[in-house]
Structure formats: C-alpha cells, structure tokens
C-alpha cells in the first residue's frame, strides 16, 4: 500500500508519523514538499521535494508510483496545489482527502477586519494604522509594495524578495510563539495594526491574543475553499481514521 501526503505543515508531519507508526510495516508513506522553505522539518517516511508539473504531472506520478490514497495536507492558503490534487485524483481514480486545521474565530474584545485577499488587506491598512505587523508569509508581499506611508515589521521563516513595502524590517523566526513574546514584540515595535491569514492552529495564535490585549485591529485574510466534493478532516487522527475506512472497504468514508 502506498500513501502520498502533500505536506509542508505541522499537521502533515504529524500525519506522516501516525501512518509510519500505526499502519502495517509494508505500507509506503511518501511526503511531498514544495521546496519553498530552505530548511524544512522533514517528516517520517520517504520524502520528495519539488512540484509535479500541475494536475497532469501529479496524476502521472500517482499512476507510476501506484498510489492508493492521496492526502492533501498542504497549507490552507496553498490553493493551487489543492485544486491540482483534486483534478489529479479524479483522473487517476485515487481517493483524496483534505487535511485542514480549523480556522480561527474572533472572541470578545477582538477588532477583526476580514478581507478576501492580500490586495484587499493592503487597501484596508491606511485607515487602520501606520506601524504594521505583517505575518502573511514572504509570498505575496507585492500586494503591499505601494504603501509608502506605513512601516512594516514582516515575519517569516525565510528572507523575502522584492517586490515588498519600501519601509520594512524583516524578522526571521519560526513558530511556535508565546503570548508573552508576542506582547513584547508589539510593544517594542509600537505596532498599531496586525495583518494575518486565517491559517488556524495554535503555533501562531498567540499574536491574536496579544493584539486583543493591546486593543489593536487585526486584518484577517479569509482562507480559500477546499475543492468541491473533497472530504475534509480537521486532525491527523481523523485523517488516519478516514484512510483506514476508505482502504478497508473500498467505499468513501463518511466524515
């Protein structure tokens, strides 16, 4: 049996570990990483790095490597690969599951401004603040490149490339982060607005609590939808249960 996990997330690494530890020893578990992070944390099992060449290339890979199930455990905002995975799975007749950690929800005292894209987030910023904590990752910084009146503190794992905002300081860090650390960061840099994607998960959630405590607004980019018809699990354990049911009786699992 061969399971392909489209990974790169904490949940993908946890799932790969579960599969390696709990499935029969003869099971082949392959995690595919996009290769956008210079020094990724490698999951258990086999690992491949790089793209497939779109949906057609992924479908060919699924057939050539006799993949029995495909699990899309990519980042909630990695929309292109998710739709390629759906098309490839349908073409190769391989069952597909999306593993997505739940998104964040605002609580009492939060000043959230939901937007549909990075471009909309950039348009929203001038009315909200001048010192911006930008935590949307190094991809897509061009959306903020035209804002020359705002100062940005940009945090990511790897250094960004142009285009990016003209007034920007880069903070190279990898989560998880603490509430105390995030509150000190906001204070030290005099941040008055936070921009984030609705990535979900606990590793980077303390920034939201810190913003709530500081009373500053948060621009939240809504996550794209999962391709229609693809079942969704919200934890690695639920994904493992789906896999056992799906490959155990050959019928779609009821999540």
Give the whole-number percent of the chain exceeding pLDDT 70: 95
> What is the C-alpha separation between 183 and 207, in angstroms, rounded?
7
pLDDT digits (tens, 9 = 90+) for 159-182: 998 999 999 999 999 888 999 999
- What integer pLDDT is reported at residue 157 of this predicted model? 87
Number of neighbouring beta carbons within 10 Å of residue 101: 20
Parallel, antiparallel, or unpaired for β 96-99 and 112-115? unpaired
Out of 3.30.70, 3.90.1150, 3.40.50, 1.10.3470, the CATH code matching 112-221 is: 3.40.50
Domain residue limits, the chain: 2-102+224-249, 112-221
Same fold, 2-102+224-249 and 112-221: yes
Q: Using alpha carbons, list the distances in angstroms from residue 30 to 79, 136, 138.
A: 21, 28, 27
Q: 166 near 141, Cβ under 8 Å?
A: no
Confidence (pLDDT) at 39: 67
Tell if the pTM clears 0.85, that is, is over it. Answer: no
Q: How many CA atoms, within 13 angstroms, populate the side-chain half-sphere of residue 222?
A: 8
Closest CA to 228 of 132, 96, 45, 31: 96
pLDDT (tens digit per residue) in 41-53: 789 999 999 889 9
Segment 203-255, tens digit of pLDDT: 889 999 999 999 999 999 999 989 999 999 999 999 999 999 988 744 444 44
Q: Is the peptide bond before 163 cis (omega within 30 degrees of 0)?
A: yes
Domain 2-102+224-249 matching CATH 3.40.50.720: the answer reads yes
CA distance 245 to 134: 41
The pLDDT tens digits of the residues spanning 78-105 come to: 878 999 999 999 999 999 999 999 999 9
Mean pLDDT of 5-28: 93
CA distances 49 to 117, 209, 217, Å, are 28, 35, 38
- The secondary structure element, H or E, covering residue 72 is strand 69-72
């Amino acid at each position: 049996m061969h399971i392909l996990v489209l990974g790169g997330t904490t949940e993908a690494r946890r799932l790969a570990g579960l599969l390696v530890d709990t499935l029969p020893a003869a099971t082949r578990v392959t995690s595919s990483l996009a290769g956008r992070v210079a020094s990724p944390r490698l999951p258990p099992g086999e690992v491949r790095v790089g793209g497939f060449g779109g949906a057609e290339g992924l479908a060919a890979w699924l057939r050539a490597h006799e993949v029995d199930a495909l699990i899309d455990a990519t980042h909630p905002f990695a929309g292109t690969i998710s739709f390629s995975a759906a098309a490839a799975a349908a073409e190769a007749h391989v069952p597909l599951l999306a593993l997505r950690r739940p998104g964040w929800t605002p609580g009492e005292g939060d000043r959230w401004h939901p937007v549909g894209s990075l471009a909309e987030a950039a348009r929203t910023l001038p009315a909200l603040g001048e010192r911006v904590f930008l935590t949307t990752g190094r991809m897509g910084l061009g959306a903020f490149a035209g804002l020359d009146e705002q100062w940005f503190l940009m945090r990511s794992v790897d250094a960004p490339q142009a285009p990016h905002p003209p007034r920007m300081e880069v903070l190279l860090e990898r989560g998880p982060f603490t509430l105390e650390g995030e509150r000190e960061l906001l204070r030290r840099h005099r941040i008055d607005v936070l921009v984030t994607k609705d990535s979900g998960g606990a590793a980077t959630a303390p920034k939201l609590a810190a913003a709530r405590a500081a009373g500053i607004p948060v621009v939240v980019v809504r996550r794209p939808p999962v391709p229609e018809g693809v079942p969704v699990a919200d934890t690695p354990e639920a994904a493992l249960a789906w896999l056992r049911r799906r490959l155990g009786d050959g019928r779609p699992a009821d999540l």
